[in-house]
Amino acid sequence: MSLNGIEFRRGNAGGGNQLRQPYLKKYTRHIALKKFPVVDNVHFYGYYIGNFPTLSFKTIDKVLNKINLIDTD
């Protein structure tokens, strides 16, 4: 998705809550996911905003200004 010229996607880098990833299932099957509510909150409601080494400070400021305008109430 792109809004205000800023590309983003639902989720986060690294696949979210690693305890929920299939490749770890045999190691995590005895772990209660309810013990990690903050990680699950990021997993289900987080957004990923891409970045790259050549981002200018001007562009970073633009992105941060737009993020700070978000009404979370």
Q: What's the pTM value of the predicted model, to 2 decimals?
A: 0.56
- Indicate whether 13 belongs to any domain: yes
In terms of residue numbers, what domain contains 34?
Answer: 2-68
- What is the full DSSP assignment across 1-67? -EETTEEEEES-GGGS-GGG-GGGHHHHTTS-GGG-HHHHHHHHH-EEE---TT--HHHHHHHHHHH
* pLDDT score of 61: 92
28 part of a folded domain: yes
- Report the 10 Å Cβ neighbour count for 45: 10
pLDDT of residue 42: 85
73: in domain: no
User: What is the pLDDT at residue 1?
Assistant: 62
Phi, psi of 21 (to 5 degrees): -80, 135
Domain assignment of residue 25, yes or no: yes
pLDDT one digit per residue (tens) for the chain, 73 residues: 667 788 888 777 777 888 888 898 899 889 988 898 998 888 888 888 877 889 899 989 988 998 898 877 6
Question: How many structural domains are present in the chain?
Answer: 1
pLDDT at 20 (0 to 100): 87
Residue 39 near residue 12 (C-beta atoms within 8 A) = no
